[in-house]
Amino acid sequence: VEDAAVNPVIRAVGLTKALLPAMRARRSGRIVVISSVVGYVATPRRSAYAASKHALHGFFNALRAELWREQIGVTIVCPGYVRTAISIHALDSTGGRHGRLDPAQANAMAPEAFAFRLLNAVASGRDEVAIGGREILGIPLQRMLPSVMVRILRKMSVS
């Protein structure tokens, strides 16, 4: 099955495996992978996307645990809503292209503001960073009160 959500995972892992020997030889470096808040909080109508982000978290969290003695860091970046065309290119329930900008995307953080916060997180050696608006509050809520998060997600209107 050709799955658009799986290909970025394969590319991220493949690129990491290709670069890792040089990082290991230098005994330094930082791997930065872009995941999503959806890597923690799976939202309606985004099951394949959520699965791919969960896969990134699993792989790169394990890799971080394997590489720390070699002074190689791993930063997982979890964007919330950023004003990009991601919803336009998302798949709908039939596997076709969604084709429109969702309101949450249209009213989201500017890409430049996201980039500034990402660069600061990487420069400070953060293992993980969630960058966004109030949607990132879903991460601790999912961890601490998953049954509350379930009720919130049931009420979400995601096109």
Instruction: Supply the residues annotated as catalytic.
Output: 49
Q: Are 50 and 90 in contact (CB under 8 A)?
A: no
Sheet of 72-79: strand order equals 29-34, 72-79, 128-131
Q: In the chain, what is the straight-line distance between the N-terminal and C-terminal CA atoms, in Å? A: 24
- How far is Cα 14 from Cα 68, in angstroms, rounded to an integer? 20
Nearest to 48 by CA among 82, 7, 14, 109: 7
Tell me how far CA of residue 93 lies from CA of 63, 78, 143, in angstroms.
33, 24, 28
Nearest to 81 by CA among 45, 106, 62: 106
